Structure 1
Amino acid sequence: LYWMSPTIVSSVIFVGCALWKSAPLNASTIFTVLATLRVMSEPVRIIPEAIAAVIQVSVSFDRLNNFLLDDELKIDEIERSGLEKSGTAVDIQAGNFSWDPETKIPTLQNIN
């Protein structure tokens, strides 16, 4: 139906002109109306793509904003040590993790 809209619109315009006799239906009038509708149809087809792009930009800005305004790591709660010969890159001892910083009970508790 969306791709049929130029045909439907031009048909409605020509039927309206024929019924109300508001403009003569000769070749020059028909050509002018069809050319005008053709020029106007391309921006109308781009509108859904533009709306989708604006929504994607809005979502991206929200994600960037949340990332940039997120709390930093608390340096005093992280212990960094040099790499040892054990082969482990990360060692967690009694780790408590939560997605929401306001929750009192962590999502993951006592991770070793």
Structure 2
Amino acid sequence: MSRLRALTASLALIAPASAGAHQLNVFASVDCEAVLVEAKFSNGRAPVEGKVRVLDGENTLLTTLALEADGTRRVPLDGLDHSGGLVIEVDTGSHDDYWILTPEDIARHCGS
């Protein structure tokens, strides 16, 4: 019986750690010409594949692009209506996360 309690206690400690080990983290920055999207799992590894969806401030899909092999994607601002800000979503199939760029974020990095 004590072996069962020890096993149960061990599993209780391990399960939360392994559940959080694969959280996807997304970051996006602007250099005035493009948005640079970076996606990494909480263990530091880049996703092998995934999609980047760019939505406007009203959640209208503007474009969908594939992630590069290093977990990044450069999204040109030319042709995107970013006046209301942008929502950058990354979906790897089993994990997803997003980053919000406000109009102020974009203007600040573009010097306007």
Q: TM-score, normalised by structure 1?
A: 0.29
Higher relative contact order (CA 8 A, sep 6+): 2
The structure having more radius of gyration, on CA atoms, is 1
